[in-house]
């Protein structure tokens, strides 16, 4: 997660599935998701699919000049 408290995507899924860590600042709308083991596996596979180097855009050597 953004603060380093969860080390892997599987840990993040578990965090949200359990409804976060109870504390006085936890939003009241944060509730356990109740995901099945298969749903957790599928979600992890989806998130892993987003991993990669991203888009590589090559700019033209010279931009066109308008008349």
> How much is the pLDDT for 4?
84
Q: What is the pLDDT tens value at each position of the chain, 67 positions in all?
A: 677 889 999 999 999 999 999 999 999 999 999 999 999 999 999 999 988 777 788 877 777 788 7
> How much is the pLDDT for 66?
81
CB atoms within 10 A of CB 30: 13
Domain chopping of the chain, boundaries: 9-49
Rounded Cα distance, 40 and 65, in Å:
52
């Amino acid at each position: 997660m953004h603060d380093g408290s969860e080390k892997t995507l599987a840990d993040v899924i578990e965090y949200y599935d359990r409804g976060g860590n109870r504390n006085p600042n936890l939003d009241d709308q944060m509730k356990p998701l109740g995901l099945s083991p298969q749903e957790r596996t599928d979600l992890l596979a989806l998130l892993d699919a987003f991993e990669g180097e991203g888009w590589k855009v090559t700019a033209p050597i010279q931009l066109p000049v308008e008349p």
